[in-house]
Chains A and B, each alone.
Chain A
C-alpha cells in the first residue's frame, strides 16, 4: 500500500522510506507532498501515525484509479 501525505508549512518529519513527490517544485504546497510504501498489513500503522502527527496536514492511502 502507498500512502500520500502532506507536511504542514515549515514542518519536518522523518518517515523511513518516504519520497518527496515533487522534489524540484517551487510551489510550497506541492513540494510538501510525500509518498511512502508500506506493507498492506503494516504493523507500524504508518497511516495512523501520520494522521496523528501534528506535522502532517493530511495523510491518505493512494486512491485507486482505473479505466472507464
Chain B
C-alpha cells in the first residue's frame, strides 16, 4: 500500500525547531601535549569509549550520551595539556524547506501574473466543481474540500481529473507540500461521472448532472467550474444555467480540445450565461488543441499544467500525487479561481459584473495582433495582477 507523503520537505532535513545544536556524546579536544590524562578522566567520568585522532593535536572523544556537561568540559580544559575542549557542533545541509516546493514548475502562475501580487486569497468563498470527484486526503488539499457529493458512485476519484482541477483552484499555499492553488478558496465537489467508462470514455450521467446544477444553484457557491462539454445543446440544461445565473453563480466552462477535429462549438461553453475559456501554452500562443469561436470569453494556461492527483493509483490512472496535464479543462479552473478572488472582494457583484471584469482586465497577447478580441483568445490572457489592482 502506498503511503501518502505528508510533506515535500526533504526527509533528510528536520524542521528548524527540531534541529540539534550539538552532536550528542561527542567532544572535541585540542592537546598541547600527547598525554593520556584527559582521556583517562573522560573514561572514568563520562564513559569515553572511542578516541579518534583528527590530526596531531585534535581528538574527537565519544562518551556516553548525556554525559557531556559544562562542568565536564571545564575540568578537561583545566589540564595543562589541553588547549580547549568543546562539544561537537551540529552541521546540516543548507537546503531550504520551501513553502510549496513545486511552485517553480507552475509556469501558468507566472503567465497569469499570480506571483506579481501578494498571495491572493479567497478563503471565504466556496467554488463548486462538477467533475470526477476529489481526493480529500491529498496533503495539498487539506481542509480545502468544503463538501463532496458523490451520490450513487464511489468517493474515489478514479480518473483523477476532478482532483487535478481542484488543485489548480485551491491547493494550499505555504504548506510545505507540492503546488500552489490560484485562489486559496474552498471547493464543493459534485461527482457527476460514473466509476466505469462507456465505450472507452467517461461520460456524464445526464440526470445526475442536472440535479447537481440545481444543487449548486441552491448551495451558496459563487462560482461553478465545468471542465467538460459536448457538441449537443440541451434545453433542459439551459433551464438550469438560467437558474444558476439568477442565483448569482458565475459559471465557467471549457471551450473543448477538438480544434484539429472540426473545431466544433461545444456546450455548456456556448450557452449565453457561461464564460468560455480557451487554452494557451507556455509561449502565450493558443494551445493547438484549444477550440476557437465567437463565444470564447478569455484564455488561461492549459498546456502542461502541474497540479494534484489522487494519492492512490486506479485502474485508469497510474500517476499519483502530482502530474502535468493539458486541456481546456486545465485552463478553465484558473479563470474559476480568479472569479472566486473577485467574489471575495465584491460579494455584491453579479455574474455579469464578474465576467465583464475578467474580460476587461485580460492581457492582450502578441498573436491577437492588437485587437481587443479574437476567436482564438477571446479578450486575452487571464491577468491576476491587473484584475486585483483594478478592483
A residues less than 8 Å from B233 (CB atoms): 63
Is B232's CB under 8 angstroms from A68's CB?
no
Is B327's CB under 8 angstroms from A66's CB?
no
Q: For the complex, what is the distance from the CA of A62 to the CA of B159, rounded to whole Å?
A: 23
Is B329's CB under 8 angstroms from A67's CB?
yes
| Number of chain B residues whose Cβ lies closer than 8 Å to a Cβ of chain A | 38
Is A6's CB under 8 angstroms from B235's CB?
yes
A7 in contact (CB, < 8 A): no
B349 in contact (CB, < 8 A): no
Instruction: In the complex, identify which listed stretch (A9-17, A19-27, A39-47) lies at the interface while the others stay far away.
Output: A19-27
Is A65's CB under 8 angstroms from B229's CB?
yes
A2 in contact (CB, < 8 A): yes
- Among B207, B230, B255, B327, point to the contact of A64 (Cβ < 8 A): B230
Instruction: In the complex, identify which listed stretch (B6-14, B67-75, B196-204) lies at the interface while the others stay far away.
Output: B196-204
Q: For the complex, what is the distance from the CA of A29 to the CA of B236, rounded to whole Å?
A: 10
A residues less than 8 Å from B211 (CB atoms): 21-22
B64 in contact (CB, < 8 A): no
Tell me the smallest distance from the CB of A63 to a CB of chain B, in Å: 4
Is A21's CB under 8 angstroms from B210's CB?
yes
Most buried by A among B229, B231, B236, B256: B236
B390 in contact (CB, < 8 A): no
A residues less than 8 Å from B195 (CB atoms): none
Tell me the smallest distance from the CB of B301 to a CB of chain A, in Å: 14
B residues less than 8 Å from A25 (CB atoms): 214
B190 in contact (CB, < 8 A): no
A50 in contact (CB, < 8 A): no
Q: What is A's interface to B at a CB cutoff of 8 Å? A: 2, 4, 6, 19, 21-22, 25, 27, 29-30, 33, 35, 58, 60-68
The 6 A-B pairs of least Cβ separation, nearest first, read A62-B206, A65-B204, A68-B254, A63-B232, A68-B329, A63-B234
Q: What is B's interface to A at a CB cutoff of 8 Å? A: 131-132, 159, 161, 193, 201-204, 206-207, 209-211, 214, 227-237, 239-240, 243, 254-257, 267, 327-329, 332
